[in-house]
């Protein structure tokens, strides 16, 4: 899906039910084609020159209930280094936990934002899932210290930070379940 908003161009893709997940290396050239076509459209219509000042890469992961977790109380053992979970009240059970982390990418080239929350898919019947969204964003222009970063540089940096950071967020037990080597 392509979205054009005032000051933004979004290129989104989602895995279709039962379909293969199309990975970043296959989607990146398609994004570049869309960006080129949009630049051409702006030029041919006599509109403004596109001058990106920010890049952003977001990965949204859905971890279904019944895989590495059965209840939100299990999330404490799912994430590496997560402090103790919600205190047991004895009069009520934990229904949901929402957490957000913010990281600075070295040399202040951008930030990584991680948002976790309970969600439901659109199935019939709907099922609970843990939604983990990782968003890396930063400047697509000269940054502190005079280092230059292009849109392409930023997109590659954002992808690398997300791909390398995601497995580090999770515990050894999650790695074992998914068959990942630590």
Q: Which of 140, 181, 135 shows the shortest CA–CA distance to 161?
A: 135
Residue 103 sits in the same domain as residue 132: yes
Which of residues 13, 29, 50 is at a domain's end? 50
**Do residues 143 and 61 both lie within one domain?**
yes
Average pLDDT over every residue of 56-60: 93
Left (φ > 0), alpha (ψ -120 to 50) or beta: where does 7 sit?
Answer: left
**DSSP state for residue 109 in the 8-state scheme:** T
Q: Are residues 36 and 76 in the same domain?
A: no
Is residue 2 domain-shared with residue 71, that is, in the same domain?
no
pLDDT of 18 above 80:
no
Domain shared by 73 and 162, yes or no? yes
Instruction: Verify that 45 and 75 share a domain, yes or no.
Output: no
pLDDT band at 147 (very low <50, low <70, confident <90, very high): low
Does residue 136 surpass a pLDDT of 60?
yes
- pLDDT value, residue 32: 92
In sequence order, the 6+-apart residues with CB closer than 8 A to the CB of 155 are: 28, 31, 55, 57
What are the backbone angles phi and psi of residue 46, rounded to the nearest 5°? 70, 25
- Asked if residue 89 and residue 74 are part of one domain, the reply reads yes
Closest of 79, 120, 116, 74 to residue 93, by C-alpha? 74
pLDDT confidence tier of residue 6, bands split at 50, 70 and 90: confident
Under the banding of pLDDT at 50, 70 and 90, the label for residue 62 is confident
Last residue in a domain, options 50, 71, 91: 50
pTM for the full model?
0.85
User: For the CA atoms of the chain, what is the radius of gyration?
Assistant: 19
Do 80 and 145 reside in the same domain of the chain? yes
Do residues 21 and 102 both lie within one domain?
no
Residue 77 has pLDDT above 60, yes or no: yes
Same domain, residue pair 63 and 33: no
Which structural domain, as residue segments, surrounds residue 96? 52-178
pLDDT of 95 reads 79
Domain count for the chain, please give it.
Answer: 2
pLDDT at site 83:
62
Residue 134 dihedral angles phi and psi, to the nearest 5°: -115, 120
> 37 with 5, same domain?
yes
Q: How confident is the model at residue 71 (pLDDT cuts 50, 70, 90)?
A: confident
> Does 80 lie in the same domain as 21?
no
Q: In sequence order, what are the residues at sequence separation of 6 or more whose Cβ sits closer than 8 angstroms to the Cβ of residue 111?
A: 102, 103, 104, 105, 136, 137, 138
């Amino acid at each position: 899906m392509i979205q054009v908003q005032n000051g933004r161009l979004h290129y989104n893709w989602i895995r279709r039910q039962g379909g293969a997940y199309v990975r970043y290396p296959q989607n990146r050239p398609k994004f570049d084609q869309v960006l080129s076509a949009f630049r051409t459209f702006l030029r041919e219509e006599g509109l403004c020159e596109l001058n990106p000042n920010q890049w952003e890469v977001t990965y949204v992961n859905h971890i279904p209930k019944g895989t590495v977790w059965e209840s939100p109380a299990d999330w404490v053992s799912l994430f590496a280094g997560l402090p103790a979970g919600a205190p047991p009240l004895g009069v009520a059970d934990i229904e949901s936990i929402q957490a957000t982390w913010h990281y600075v990418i070295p040399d202040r080239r951008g930030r990584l934002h991680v948002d976790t929350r309970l969600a439901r898919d659109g199935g019939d019947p709907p099922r609970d899932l843990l939604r983990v969204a990782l968003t890396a964003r930063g400047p697509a222009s000269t940054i502190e210290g005079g280092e230059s970063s292009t849109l392409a540089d930023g997109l590659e940096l954002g992808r690398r930070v997300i791909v390398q950071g995601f497995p580090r967020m999770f515990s050894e037990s999650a790695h074992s379940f998914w068959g990942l080597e630590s």
